[in-house]
Structure 1
Amino acid sequence: MTDLMETLIENREMVQPNHANMLEVAHGGNVMKWMDEIGAMSAMRFSGETCVTAHVNRMDFERPIPVGDTAYITAYVYDVGTSSIKVRLVTEREDLRTREREKTTESYFVYVAIDEENVPTAVPELTVDTERGERLRRIALEGENGDR
């Protein structure tokens, strides 16, 4: 069994000009790629297996991330099936000079754990042992269902 808090990953990507569109903000495809990579890390940390993306529930882009700011990405596992792993992902725009952050993007990805032959394999049970973990899980379950 793996606790939700053990799956929590936070990472930053500096938005460079080569990541930007003609408006000089992060291209949505780059943000999605970064989120997918961090989400897969969270799923693999949880399962101890290689994980592949199976489904993106939705991708909500709320505001842009300008060149020079960082994309601060948070991911954690909030629910599991037999071989599937649900991960909530939130990206924030962060100004490193002021440490100001604001949410820019939210999504819910589903990964599948696979074995050495690329066949889906069983994942452990998810536990939630802290109040913070319970709160994060509740937020994810409500958000996944559109109850934000």
Structure 2
Amino acid sequence: MGSISDTFMENRERVQPDDTNNYASAHGGNVVKWMDEIGAMAAMRHAGKTCVTARINSLDFERPVPQGDICVIQAYAYDTGHTSIKVRLRAFREDPRSGETEPTTDSYFVFVAVDDDMQPTAVPDLDVGSERCRELREAALAGEHDE
């Protein structure tokens, strides 16, 4: 059984002109793609199996990520079902020169673990033993219920 903090991942994408919309900020579809990729990695880290996206429970775009900035994506698993893993995802804009960050996007994805035949397969429970794990889980559950 892995812990919530074992699933914590962070990735960065520099927002290039090909990633932007008419307003010179990251296209929402690109942000969702980046979130989906890192979210699946967090789910697979816990499950030890391939995980596929089953649902996006919520997706709130709070502000844009301007071209030239860095889109930082953070993900961690915070709850499990029999075959599913809930993952909290947050995106931030980061100024590459100063390192200043600002939250931009908040989301909750559900992934399902699958076997070699792409059939759902059981996942282990998450360990919530440490204070950091409890804090991450409580933050995710609080945000999930604000939907």
- The answer as to 2:18 corresponding to 1:18 is yes
Aligned residue pairs: how many? 147
Q: What is the Cα deviation at residue 129 of structure 1?
A: 2.4
C-alpha distance in structure 2 between counterparts of 1:13 and 1:144, whole Å? 25
C-alpha distance in structure 1 between counterparts of 2:35 and 2:100, whole Å? 20
2:28 maps to which residue? 28
Q: CA RMSD in A?
A: 0.8
C-alpha distance in structure 2 between counterparts of 1:129 and 1:17, whole Å? 44
- The answer as to 2:40 corresponding to 1:4 is no
1:140 maps to which residue? 140
**Structure 2 length normalisation: TM-score?**
0.98
Superposed structure 1 runs of 4+ greater than 4 Å apart: none
Letter in 2 for 1:134: R
Which string of whole-angstrom CA distances, capped at 9 and with x for unpartnered residues, describes residues 114-144 of structure 1? 0000000000110012211111100100111
Letter in 1 for 2:132: R
2:37 maps to which residue? 37
Q: What is the Cα deviation at residue 76 of structure 1?
A: 0.1
C-alpha distance in structure 2 between counterparts of 1:73 and 1:67, whole Å? 16
Structure 1 unaligned runs (5+)?
A: none
- The answer as to 2:73 corresponding to 1:63 is no
Letter in 2 for 1:60: D
- The answer as to 2:74 corresponding to 1:74 is yes
2:130 maps to which residue? 130
Question: Percent same amino acid among aligned pairs?
Answer: 58
SS of 2:21 mapped into structure 1: coil
Letter in 2 for 1:73: I
SS of 2:24 mapped into structure 1: coil
1:99 maps to which residue? 99
SS of 1:102 mapped into structure 2: strand
Structure 2 unaligned runs (5+)?
A: none
